């Protein structure tokens, strides 16, 4: 029997399925195509799958979508899941991402793909964008909607909602912990990583426990996942005898060997600030560029910062401006674009490469603050401390610095600029009673994380103390 000897669309379809069963895609394709062109809905669907996977024909997601839509519009409801996924995945599939359309097709799936459809909808509401408002309450509803099968991965995703908080859900680490533990019982090892985050940060109903975080990160790594950056963060941020920049750097180098963009970025930060290594801006730039090549938004911003301040490169405010603007277009899930807003504000505040404008600077700082940027909080503090376009207000300045410190503490971030600024407020008694002992605590913390100006204040306090002792 020749390839085109089948006389009806159904016969063509049946022949195509026989070839499909033997993985003879090149023979199945013309059978499905002939039947599909004659409005055979199952063949239209199978043809879409061949185009989607590139089996028997060149991979073409747009063509796959066309045939899935024909199949669905002709009454084959199974196709709506595949259509929804194509709209969800977007550019990687050669189709414009459209969460709103994806939702319309996925919300009514009620076959074996129902659980995954609910999960995908939850993820869309978790991330937001592309036609859908970020809404954690809706995400929780959809993660919980399907009641069957192994729910451990959904439990893990629910835990992430309570870890992040906001958008209709109160941040609650204790609640998150319970969901992560349920997920781990069901075999979802990814929960080890997120529960490790919870223990490392503490608060919101959970005591900080670095050892528990270490054990969970170890389990996560042993399962074959990448988490060297998290292990490094533990050694950077912990406040006990185990704190070690050298151990942190060792973990970062392991991750960088696997081309991990976060590890590459953090190594750059170590060289920029001189953490466990000699300060070296050229090395910092090199590592940032490696991270940038892997599309890490924070690296783009930090390269801009080097040009902004002439660190290892000549001052180039225009290049810094371009890099910050570029980073704003790449709104990563890590929220790094918030820092680009702050740095753009600084360019306008000082009139570097752009016309000086305190109002424009404040506009950028406010946007950063609205996104809960520690850098934005610090910049706001500077605005009120120095009176950039506003009346000097030391009390307000201190409140902004303290907000920055609090955010860095909870997120395990380096905030040497706000630690320095807070120290200065207590050192001089600006908006608060003078307290050199407390100021010294902040200066030491800032200096430990590479802030050279803090070192000068430490020397001054030590010098003053020596003079007092001599009297």
Mean pLDDT confidence for 265-283: 97
Q: List the beta bridge partners of residue 132.
A: 129
Structural contact between residues 106 and 121, judged by C-beta atoms closer than 8 angstroms: yes
pLDDT exceeds 80 at position 331: no
Question: Taking residues 300-318, what's their average pLDDT?
Answer: 97
Residue 5 has pLDDT above 90, yes or no: no
The average confidence (pLDDT) of the chain is 94
Residue-wise pLDDT tens digits, 97-147: 999 999 999 999 999 999 999 999 999 999 999 999 999 999 999 999 988
CB 45 within 8 A of CB 71: yes
The residue with greater pLDDT, 91 or 189, is 189
How far apart (Å, rounded) are the C-alpha atoms in residues 103 and 107? 6
Helix (H) or strand (E) holding 355: none
Q: Lowest-pLDDT range, 181-195, 288-302, 332-346?
A: 332-346
The secondary structure of residue 336, as a DSSP letter, is T
| pLDDT tens figures, 193-228 | 999 999 999 999 999 999 999 999 999 999 999 999
Looking at residues 138-158, what average pLDDT do you find?
92
pLDDT digits (tens, 9 = 90+) for 29-43: 999 999 999 999 999
pLDDT at 1: 41
Judged against a pLDDT cut of 70, whether residue 3 lies above it is answered with no
Over the stretch 418-433, which tens digit does the pLDDT of each residue have?
Answer: 999 999 999 999 999 9
Q: List the chain domain ranges.
A: 295-371
pLDDT for 430-454, tens place per residue? 999 999 999 999 999 999 999 999 9
Task: Please name the fold of domain 295-371.
Answer: 1.25.40
Q: Which tokens hold the place of 118?
A: 């609910």
Q: Which helix (H) or strand (E) holds 417?
A: helix 416-428
SS (H, E, C) 288-317: HHHHHHCCCHHHHHHHHHHHHHCCCCCCCH
Closest by alpha carbon to 169, among 125, 202, 121?
125
φ and ψ at residue 71, rounded to 5 degrees = -60, -45
- Decide: 162 and 193 in contact? Cβ < 8 Å: no
What per-residue confidence (pLDDT) applies to 4?
A: 47
């Amino acid at each position: 029997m020749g390839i085109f000897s089948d006389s009806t669309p159904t016969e063509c379809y049946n022949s195509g399925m026989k070839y499909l069963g033997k993985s003879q895609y090149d023979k199945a394709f013309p059978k499905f195509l002939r039947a599909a062109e004659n409005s055979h809905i199952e063949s239209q669907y199978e043809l879409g799958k061949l185009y989607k996977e590139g089996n028997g024909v060149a991979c073409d997601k747009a063509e796959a979508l066309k045939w899935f839509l024909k199949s669905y519009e002709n009454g084959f409801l199974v196709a709506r899941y595949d259509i929804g996924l194509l709209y969800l995945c977007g550019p990687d599939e050669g189709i414009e991402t459209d969460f709103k359309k994806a939702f319309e097709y996925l919300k009514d799936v009620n076959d074996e793909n129902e659980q995954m459809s609910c999960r995908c909808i939850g993820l869309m509401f978790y991330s937001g964008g592309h036609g859908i408002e970020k809404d954690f309450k809706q995400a929780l509803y959809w993660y919980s909607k399907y009641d069957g099968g192994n729910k451990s991965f959904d439990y893990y995703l629910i835990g992430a909602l309570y870890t992040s908080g906001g958008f209709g859900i109160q941040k609650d680490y204790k609640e998150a912990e319970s969901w992560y533990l349920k997920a781990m019982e069901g075999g979802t090892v990814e929960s080890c990583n997120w529960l490790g985050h919870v223990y490392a940060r503490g608060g919101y109903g959970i005591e900080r426990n670095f050892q528990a975080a270490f054990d969970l990160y170890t389990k996560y790594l042993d399962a074959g996942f990448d988490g060297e950056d998290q292990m490094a963060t533990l050694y950077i941020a912990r406040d006990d005898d185990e704190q070690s920049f050298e151990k942190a750097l060792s973990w970062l180098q392991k991750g960088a060997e696997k081309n991990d963009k976060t590890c590459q970025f953090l190594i750059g930060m170590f060289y920029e600030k001189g953490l466990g290594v000699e300060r070296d801006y050229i090395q910092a730039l090199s590592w940032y560029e490696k991270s940038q090549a892997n599309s890490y938004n924070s690296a783009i911003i930090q390269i801009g910062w080097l040009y902004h301040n002439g660190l290892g490169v000549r001052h180039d405010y225009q290049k810094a401006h371009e890099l910050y603007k570029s980073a704003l277009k790449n709104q990563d899930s890590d929220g790094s674009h918030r820092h680009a807003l702050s740095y753009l504000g600084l360019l306008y505040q000082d009139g570097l490469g752009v016309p000086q404008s305190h109002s424009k600077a404040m506009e950028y700082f406010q946007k950063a603050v609205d996104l809960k940027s520690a850098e934005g909080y610090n910049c706001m503090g500077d605005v009120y401390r120095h009176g950039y376009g506003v009346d000097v207000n030391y009390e307000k300045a201190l409140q902004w610095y303290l907000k920055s410190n609090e955010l860095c503490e909870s997120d395990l971030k380096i905030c040497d600029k706000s630690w320095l600024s807070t120290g200065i407020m207590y050192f001089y008694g600006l908006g608060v009673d003078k307290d050199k002992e407390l100021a010294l605590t902040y200066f030491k913390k800032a200096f430990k994380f590479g802030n050279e100006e803090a070192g000068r204040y430490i020397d001054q306090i030590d010098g003053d103390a020596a003079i007092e002792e001599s009297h």
